[in-house]
Structure 1
Amino acid sequence: MRVVEMAACGGPEVLVAATRPVPEPAPGQLLVRVGAVGVCGHDLLARRGLLAARPGSVLGHEIAGEVVGLGDGTPPGWAGRRVALMQRIPCGTCEWCADGRTTSCRSGPGFYGEDLPGGYAQYVVASPLNAVPLPDHVDLATGAILSCAVGTGRRALRAAEVGAGDVVVVTGAGGGVGVHTVALAHHLGAVVVALTGSPGKVDALRALGADRVLARADVREVRAALAELGRPRGADAAVEITGGPTFTTALRALAPRGRLALVGNTEPATLPLDPGLTIVKELRVHGSAHADRDDLAAVVDLVAAGAVAPVATVRRPLAEAAAAHADLEARAVTGRTVLLP
């Protein structure tokens, strides 16, 4: 099969075409022909050598496709199904899985692109534990981004306990996770203040439901916008997608007893948490990981019902993976780019 692999750690040019054998599904597994794979900021960090991926890795954890093979003992009803995949294949039997915390499982095959070959390829292995059937009217390019780009935001909004009438700040709002977090928060009935580093993305974020969009704003500008929305003491919640560049702004934008869900850190480093501010305001800071299968199933239902419309902005052939990475690094994409093997 055709793949794009990391020849080394470095810039987009290290992503090169290669061929590999089609993987064999183990007992209980699925063989999925990849119809589309999303390009995520996580992929950029992995390519630079900042995560667990190493030279020779095949990246890509946002995957949708069709089940074309079954390992021994796999329920036959999966054959021929169109599926969206969760980023991690859990084991299903450890204490974490038994407690429903599959994002913490480290006993299964693991995370695509790091522990096992990912979706920058024509085929991947999967499992009923990380696959969710896609309705026929949801195309595979949309299905590919549901777990990471949409499900991650849903999980973070739940961690921050965002509901109707809450005012929520979303940082990194122009990226793949950000635009969908804005859309989901709007769907929940929240008032959304979207922060972006790209002025060219302001109109798109307003169209997705943001009540205020601020480009390259400092904390004073964010607090002023919150005051205009009737929250002079700050927001009820924040979803922090960027990490280092905006963490302090998001934390200081919170009202007393505000909740912050930390989803991403685009510049891996230690974040400066102000203990005095956190104590006096009684703030709550939650880490929020990738979506689990329940999150993915819920997002599939929302999209199938038309409640949320995912933004797969750019579609490219697999051979253009390096160009897709370059565009993402240049902040030239609103939403998600998907590659079509």
Structure 2
Amino acid sequence: MDAIFNKEVTTVYAADVISFAKKMGYFPKNAKNKDFSFSDSYAPVDFGGARFCELRVWAMFNKIADGMDQYFEYGKGNIHYDKKGYATNRMPLWVKPNHKVDVKEVMDFMRDHLEGTELDMSKDIGAGAFGNPYRWRPMTWKVEGTSYCNERVTATQQTGFSFVSQSRSWLPDEIGGIIWFGVDDAASSCYFPMYSAATEVPYAFARGNGSMLEFTNEAAFWVFNQISNFAYTRYSYIHPEIEKKQNVTERAFMETVKVIDAKAKALYDAGKKEEALATVTNFSVKEGNAMVDDWRRFYGYLFAKYVDGNVKTKVPNQMNPKLEQPGYNKEWYEKVVKDAGEKLKMKGDAGH
């Protein structure tokens, strides 16, 4: 173990890693050691491992690497095994991107619901009338003895927090690290830049400001939960507005970070390390709190606009807004008619 920090040592393992696997039946006793696979022996992939875990990785790889379509069946849980019990159609552990990936792309990877695939969660009947790509737990269930599952995609409602870690080697360590941090469902949240060397956190994200059972409108977690849970009610209408605001806010942060980087580095290079740390700390604290304030107001805007199934639009110089009642889409009405058409059928021309 003394060599573990030697850069030339790429793999560290126990001396009996193979013999123990053979002893326990994880790897055939008559198999050749050169054919041993640690992952396939100690954690053989099954349907759940592929469908609920690997498929999320596939969704990200598929956006940045060529040829990933050949692994889609594997991600769906259709696994082929050899005589050793090893998966033969397994997805690569890593891929080389076909373009330079920026931090905003990685943020958006965290918001995936398998859109554009046959497993797109917004397309089947479970999505309801408004294409909601979420399913409430439990994740698996049975009907007449047959087991079924909901997808476990990257963006999920029970997320506590998520982050994208960005390391910039061209800056001093105290400035180069940023944790783009967000709370709740990544698809409805917003990432803000928390410098890794910051010595304080924004009050909106601070421990003790609310809890899982204590609601407070001052806590980022509860502000973003209000937004996401309201969006779930009419996703196809509300979520596009959230996505637009995410893009505007996060792109603006990325531009502002460039200014703070330059300011903090100038202080650092001048030997004013403490002032540099204060600069990045004050920035992260201020922007984190300001973002939550902004999105709290945004929730109020969404609620007022979409409450009660309506869509209200402000009309210049008029007290009352334009009111639309879009109802449901054609496909959903057809499903309703198929399920309950006879009891809902109108007699005559009466209307309301």
Tell me the TM-score range normalised by the shorter chain: under 0.3
Q: Which has the larger radius of gyration?
A: 2
TM-score for both structures, normalised by structure 1: 0.25
Q: Which has the higher contact order (CA 8 A, sep 6+)?
A: 1
Determine which structure has the larger helix proportion and give its number.
2
Q: Normalization by structure 2: what TM-score?
A: 0.24
